[in-house]
Amino acid sequence: MTATLEKFIAGLPKAELHLHIEGTFEPELMFEIAQRNKRQIRFNSVEEVKQAYRFNNLQEFLDIYYEGANVLIEERDFYDLTRAYLQRVHAQNVQHVEIFFDPQTHTDRGISFDTVIKGIYRALEEGEKQFGISFKLIMCFLRHLPEEAAFKTLEEALPFKDWIYGVGLDSSELGHPPSKFERVFAKAREAGFTLMAHAGEEGPSAYIWEALTQLNVARIDHGNRCLDDERLVQELAARQMALTLCPLSNRALKVVQTLDNYPIQKMMDKGLLITINSDDPAYFGGYINENYLGIAQPLHLSKETLAELAKNSFRASFLPEEEKEKRIARVEAYLANWD
C-alpha cells in the first residue's frame, strides 16, 4: 500500500509554490561551497549539521538558516544551489516552480544583488530548457528588518523587474505584522509586482486579515491560523485565495505537534484553495513528494484527494489560464490512467 502510494505521488505532475531557495541548501553542498570559498562553518560533518536541525520554533530555525547562507558568496554558488534544487525536484516530477529568494540575507553581508539574482536566474533558465520546469521568481523582504531596508531592496530589484514576478514577506513573523510593510507593498504593486506574504504561520489570524486588506496579496503563504476565525475562512474561500501549506515545515517548527490530524481535509471541505509545499526542504526533512506522503499516510488520503492537491498547485500558480488548464489536464490524465 505504502509503496503504491509513494509511486503514485512520485509520478504525479505538480507545482511547488512555497520554496525558499536558501532553504534547499543541503549540508553536503554547504561543505563543498564553504571549502571553495575558504569560509568556516561551525560543524565538522554532515551528521553534526543534521543533529543541529532540531527546532522549537520559527526563530530557532531562522538563526541556523541565515548562518548556513553565509557561505554563499559568488554567482556560481547561487547557481549551484538553484541547480541542485531543480535536479532534485525534476526527479520528483515537479513541472513548475515559484521560488522565493531573500536578497537582504546576502546584501547585508556585502554580496551584491546582481550576484545573487544572476546565479539563481541562470539556473532557472537552464532548468526550463533542460527539464521543462517553468518558473516564477519571487523576492521576499525580511520582515524583522525595518521598512526602510525593504524600500531600498525594492529599488535594487527594479533593474531586474523582468526577472522578478512577485514580492513576498518572510522571516520572523511575531511582532512584525504585514501592516509594517503596507507602504512598501503599495509601491511594489505600482511597479507591477504580484504580491504575497507569509501570514498565520506563528502569527495570529489578524495577520492574515492584514495581508489581505492592507497588502492586497494574491496568495497567502502558510495561513494555517485562519482556522481560528470562521469569518476569515469564509472570506478566503469566497476569494479562492490560495494558501501554500507546508506540512513538514509545520511539524519541524512545532506549528503543529503531529501530522496525524493535519487539517487538510477540513480546510478543503470548507472550500479553501489548499496547496502542499516544502518551504525549506534541506532543513525540514523532505522535498515536495515527502510532504505529500507525510500527510497522505497518516490521514489516509485517497488518490483523488492527492490529485486534487496537485491540480490546486497549478490553479494557485501564477501561470497563464490556458497553461493552468493544460497542466491540470495532465494531472487528470495521470489519475485516469492509474491502474
The one among 75, 98, 156, 280 contacting ligand HPA by CB under 6 A: 280
Q: Is 136 in the site for ligand HPA (CB under 6 A)?
A: no
E strands, the chain, in order: 14-20, 94-101, 134-142, 166-170, 194-199, 219-222, 242-245, 274-276
Task: Mark residues 259-298: x for contact with Zn ion by CB under 5 A, - for none.
Answer: --------------------x-------------------
Calpha distance 151→161 (Å, rounded): 15
User: In sequence order, which residues have a C-beta less than 8 Å from that of residue 37 and are 6 or more positions away?
Assistant: 71, 73, 74, 77
Nearer to ligand HPA, 205 or 249 (CB): 249
Nearer to Zn ion, 43 or 292 (CB): 292
Q: Is 156 in the site for ligand HPA (CB under 6 A)?
A: no
Q: Where are the alpha helices (DSSP H) in 257-320?
A: 264-269, 281-284, 288-299, 303-315
| Active-site annotation holds for 323 | no
Nearer to ligand HPA, 6 or 290 (CB): 290
Residue nearest to ligand HPA (CB): 170
- Binding to ligand HPA (CB under 6 A) within 220-279 occurs at 249, 279
- Binding to ligand HPA (CB under 6 A) within 12-41 occurs at 20, 23
Amino acid at 120: I
Cβ atoms of 75 and 115 closer than 8 Å: yes
The one among 77, 156, 170, 210 contacting ligand HPA by CB under 6 A: 170
What is the secondary structure of 51-99 as a DSSP string?
A: HH---SSHHHHHHHHHHHHTT--SHHHHHHHHHHHHHHHHTTTEEEEEE
- Binding to Zn ion (CB under 5 A) within 55-94 occurs at none
Catalytic residue (one of 16, 98, 156, 201): 201
Interface residues with ligand HPA (CB under 6 A) are 20, 23, 58, 170-171, 198, 201, 249, 279-280
